[in-house]
Amino acid sequence: MRKRIANLLVTLMIVGLLVPLLAGCGPTPTPIVEKVEVPVEQTVVVTREVMITATPAPTPEPALTIIDGAGRVVTIPKTPQRIVSIASAATETLYAIGCGDEIVGRDKYSDYPPEVQEKPSVGSGSQLDVEAVLGLEPDLVIAWWFSREAISTLEDKGLTVLAINPRSVDGVLDTIRTLGLVTGHLEEAESLIAEMQARIDEVKAGVKDIPKEDRPLVYYELTTPMKTTGPGTFTNELIFMAGGINIAADEPVRYPILSEEYIIERNPDVIVIVSGGASVDEVKGRAGWQNIKAVQDDRVYTIDTHLVTSNPRIVQGLEQFARWFHPELW
């Protein structure tokens, strides 16, 4: 009996211990949650997306270093936008290759094309108004090679100066190319050169087979009476290219002064006087000149000085000479 009571007590104790454990393994009671409506302020966030495009820094323009007509090494840091030209041939060339708008000043001898005369004048290479040049704020000045004092003065003031020095027809073409390169108009310069070269070649081809004895003797006179052009000059070269023979071609200096007796004795077939010199009638009226063949045959002419100097119109001078020397061909 006692044993049964003991077993019952043990059983009750075990059951008492298992009930809490079994309760923990059952489903979790659902908590009671009280819903409270809390007003919430509606906030709208606007996000603006900004597109940033990276622009690469411009590549610095390379400086151009050349040897100019005065034999100087000149560095041009950038393509010039404001040019002062104190060399008339350069002025005309710049217009011919499309750089007229970049010219902000000129020398007093720059008169072609006519619109250049609207540009401010700064004097000349020998009598330069330096302050006027500085006031125009040029980034390039172009000068004749012999304007040494002006070149030096302007460079001392911090300006870039380029000298030109064409000494032949080919030199004129080279100068055009140089100015085209310096100003960023090389394509236009090459086009002009090609046009000029074609006209030069046409004249040369037309006279190349003419024998020496059929080529006219030519006396060319500058603004000073009896002063002419000899070897190493544009005019001497043009006379030869046009099929003539310069009576002063063998003189020892470039600009000799001939005696009237010498000219009469040589008896030129053609006489050409540069504009600004003696008139045709004055030449014909000189004592003893009536015996010269050119006067007798009425072959005394005046030529515009701009057509026989270092600018693109030099081709017109060549063609004019050819028409006067060989009218049967042109």
Instruction: Quote the pLDDT of residue 191.
Output: 98
Instruction: Quote the pLDDT of residue 40.
Output: 46
Q: Which residues of 189-228 are buried (b: 16+ CB within 10 A; e: fewer)?
A: bbebbeebeeebeebeeebeeeeeeebbbbbbbbeeebbb
CATH number at residue 177: 3.40.50.1980
User: Whole domain around residue 111: which residue ranges?
Assistant: 64-194
Instruction: Quote the pLDDT of residue 8.
Output: 44
Cis peptide upstream of residue 113 (ω within 30 degrees of 0): yes
Overall residue count recorded for the chain in this entry: 330
Within the chain, which residues score under 70 in pLDDT?
A: 1-61
How many domains is the chain built from?
2
Q: Is 161 domain-assigned?
A: yes
Kindly state whether residues 281 and 185 are assigned to the same domain.
Answer: no
Tens digit of each residue's pLDDT (9 = 90 or more) over 81-138 = 999 999 999 999 999 999 999 999 999 999 999 999 999 999 999 999 999 999 999 9
Tens digit of each residue's pLDDT (9 = 90 or more) over 170-194 = 999 999 999 999 999 999 999 999 9
Which two tokens mark 131? 């302050």
Query: Which residue, of 133, 163, 194, is where some domain finishes?
Result: 194
Instruction: Quote the pLDDT of residue 1.
Output: 46
Which two tokens mark 251? 């003189």
Instruction: Quote the pLDDT of residue 330.
Output: 86
Q: In what order do the strands lie in the sheet with 217-221?
A: 245-246, 217-221, 270-274, 300-303
Kindly state whether residues 143 and 224 are assigned to the same domain.
Answer: no
- Give the sign of the dihedral formed by CA 261, CA 265, CA 271, CA 272: negative
Kindly state whether residues 112 and 218 are assigned to the same domain.
Answer: no
Kindly state whether residues 189 and 225 are assigned to the same domain.
Answer: no
